[in-house]
Amino acid sequence: MNSKTVTNVMLAFYMAIFFGFLFGPLIVMGVSAFNTSTYPQVYPIEGFTLLWFEKLLNDRDMVYGLKNSLWIGMWVVVLSVPLGLAGAMMMSQIYSKARSFYYVIVVSPVLTPGVIIGISTVVFWGDLTTTTNSRFLYHGLFMTVLGQSSFISAYCMLMFMSRLNKFDRAQEEAGLDLGASQTQVFFHILLPFLRPAIFSSAVLAFLSSFENYNTTTFAILADKTLTTVLAGRVRQGTTPAISALAVLIIAVTVVGAIIYEIVKRREDRERQARLDAAHAAELRELESIEKATHHA
């Protein structure tokens, strides 16, 4: 064997271990969702069943938690995307000596453990609502949305910052020069430019919110979301119904990923078509110039 084959064999072995570690547990879990055995297992297969899925759908708490999770996710998107955008726009404008200080503040939630964010949110709103007599705001869903948004906004901000870096200031000036107000420039030129970032940060925000546990478990108080219900179930004992939930989540994400890929491919194709058109126009143009100069 030469050294190249040795390297390749080692590489293959490493990859097998790596992806085995990554996917093994998920595959085991996935298969166990269809096994009749009441303990989630792949071996031996005792029989094929969809019973666990049925159990899942009849689980009141789960369905209730799911509704809350979706509701929270929606509000997190509504809050985090605008906050992240404002944070990113402020970053480039803030008085330069304050900028690093500001940066530390708004990025710190990304690096703060989720439990601490959850705890501090509850403590703050608990105190605030008591002293200001607005106890109705001391509400699990409300605080979960705020707690999650504090760091999800920072994710969004980082995405907006990288998109804004690509913004050509001349676009803004062109708008102004044509008579638009700053506000019109914002809505007609900047926002459309940011649309891809808005879309992807919304997706990111929703998914981060949906699967969050550490912050939620504190901020939600006595209420439930899908993840807190799930955590409770998992602690009580293992049942294949949980595997079934995982299978459903995987299925939904796979479908989502496929749709995303299809849309992306179509966009790529359209873009390519436009570039081809430009190229053809370029050629026609040269030809017509050629002709014009000949006649002259």
Restricting to residues 204-243, which ones interact with another protein according to CB under 8 A?
A: 207, 210-211, 213-214, 217-218, 227, 230-231, 234-235, 238, 242-243
Binds another protein by CB under 8 A, chosen from 249, 255, 259, 262: 249
Closer by beta carbon to another protein, 51 or else 250: 250
Quote the CA–CA distance of 182 and 123 in Å, as a whole number.
40
Closer by beta carbon to another protein, 50 or else 203: 203
Q: How far is the CB of 258 from another protein (least distance, A)?
A: 11
Q: Confirm or reject binding of residue 102 to another protein (CB under 8 A).
A: yes
Q: Are 105 and 36 in contact (CB under 8 A)?
A: no
Long-range contacts (CB closer than 8 Å, 24 or more residues apart) made by 65-69: 65/224, 65/225, 65/226, 65/227, 65/228, 65/229, 65/230, 66/226, 68/141, 68/220, 68/223, 68/224, 68/225, 68/226, 69/209, 69/210, 69/225, 69/226, 69/227
Q: How far is the CB of 58 from another protein (least distance, A)?
A: 19
Q: Confirm or reject binding of residue 15 to another protein (CB under 8 A).
A: yes
Binds another protein by CB under 8 A, chosen from 36, 135, 192, 265: 192
Quote the CA–CA distance of 205 and 152 in Å, as a whole number.
6
Q: Which 58-77 positions form the footprint of another protein (CB under 8 A)?
A: none
Tokens of 295: 């006649």
Q: Which stretch binds another protein (CB under 8 A): 51-59, 70-78, 88-96, 134-142?
A: 88-96
